[in-house]
Amino acid sequence: MRFLLLISIFLCICEGASAQAVQQAVEQDSVPIVFNAVIEVSGQVISGIMVIKREENRCRVLFTTVAGPKLMDIYIDAVNYEILYVIKKLKKKVVLQLFQKDFALITGLYLAATYRDYGEGVRTVKLSKKKSVSYVFNQQKQIVRAEYLGKNKILVEVNYTYQSGRLDSIFLRHHNFNMKIRLNPIWD
Low-confidence spans in the chain with pLDDT less than 50:
1-28
What pLDDT is stored for residue 4 in this prediction?
30
Among 20, 50, 19, 24, CA closest to 37: 50
C-alpha to C-alpha distance for 168 and 156, rounded to whole angstroms: 20
Q: Could you tell me the residue ranges of all domains in the chain? A: 2-185
C-alpha to C-alpha distance for 149 and 155, rounded to whole angstroms: 6
Torsion of CA 35, 56, 27, 157, to 10 degrees: -50
DSSP 5: H
pTM of the entire predicted model: 0.79
Q: What is the pLDDT of residues 127-162, one digit of tens each?
A: 888 889 999 998 888 899 999 999 889 999 999 999
**Domain formed by 2-185, architecture:** Clam (2.50)
C-alpha to C-alpha distance for 110 and 25, rounded to whole angstroms: 12
C-alpha to C-alpha distance for 28 and 38, rounded to whole angstroms: 26
Q: How far is CA 166 from the centre of its chain?
A: 16
Residue 111 near residue 124, CB atoms below 8 Å: no
Q: What is the pLDDT of residues 167-176, one digit of tens each?
A: 999 999 999 9
